Amino acid sequence: MLRIVLFLATNVAVLLMISLVFQVLGLGAFLDSRGVHLNLESLLIYSALIGMSGSFISLVLSKWMAKTSMGVYVIDRPQNQTEAWLVSTVEKLSRKAGIGMPEVGIFQSPMPNAFATGMDKNHALVAVSTGLLEAMNPDEVEAVLGHEISHAANGDMTTMALVQGVVNTFVYFLATVIGHIVDRTLFRSQDEEGGYVGYGPGYYVTQLVAQMVLGILATMVVMWFSRWREFRADAGGARLAGRQKMISALEALRRAAEPEDLPGEFAAFGINGSIGRGIARLFMSHPPIEERIAALHRMRG
């Protein structure tokens, strides 16, 4: 609950800061001088409602979406030795991390992967794939679980939702401003007295194109944060389960077949992700495994 309050408080603080920057830079007066009469504060609030609401709803529904879209089988009562070991290991690691016991689940996938999700660190879901259980030994699986529990303990689900919401807000806000500027200055959608006659086609086309271009740039920002967050979760997994176990788990992932992202929004929360080369590296949710292993070797302690 505290993280949700902080989520909302941070959004308000960001809006106030941006509004102050607009006033200091005189953006409103600049747009007025070019015939673009916008209430920037109102547009900013509207953009935030659009940008943040989707992220917040996804955060609230994240566990339900994981269970339904990925077919996660939640272990309520362990039916075999593997399930009992998974639950006891997650309980041990979550207690060591100082968080509430997450739900533990298994999903069908031949690829070795795992993820954590949930709107609160004390009410998270940690799930592993059947492929991971088959490809890794118990020490390596323990390290993977430590990695995912570190995501929950670090509040990465909430932070990712906040980052995504902020960039969504900027994308819609800037695209709308750009659409108005192009429509009023280039297409001149005004009557003879200089009054507005509504939005011309220039606004809609420009706003759509601007959203697409800015959306690509925003995705780069979100993926950069996701990659940084993976390094931190690797370090957390090393502290919880042991550095050598974490390195061995990443080595096992590297030996596996070509990695694939988890579907949809869960791609950023898996322990493994697809490999990108060239400019595609900017859109990777996970750093290359070689870089992650090297970072663990540089860890102190």
Adjacency order of strands within the sheet including 73-74: 73-74, 103-107, 125-129, 114-117
Q: Report the candidate in 146, 109, 56 with the shortest Cα–Cα distance to residue 262.
A: 109
Return the beta strands (E) in the chain as ranges.
73-74, 103-107, 114-117, 125-129
Query: What pairing do the DSSP bridges indicate for beta strands 125-129 and 103-107?
Result: parallel
Find the catalytic residue in 142, 148, 230, 265. Answer: 148
Sign of CA dihedral 177, 180, 181, 183: positive
* 227, 239 contact by CB (below 8 A): no
Q: How many CA atoms lie within 13 A of 33 on its CB side?
A: 5
Q: Report the candidate in 49, 43, 15 with the shortest Cα–Cα distance to residue 176.
A: 43
Q: Which two tokens stand for residue 248?
A: 């061995």
**β-bridge mates for residue 105, sequence order:** 74, 127
Q: Is 142 marked active-site?
A: no
What are the CB-based long-range contacts (under 8 Å, 24+) for 271-275?
271/113, 271/114, 271/115, 271/144, 271/147, 271/148, 272/111, 272/112, 272/113
Please give the positions annotated as active site.
148
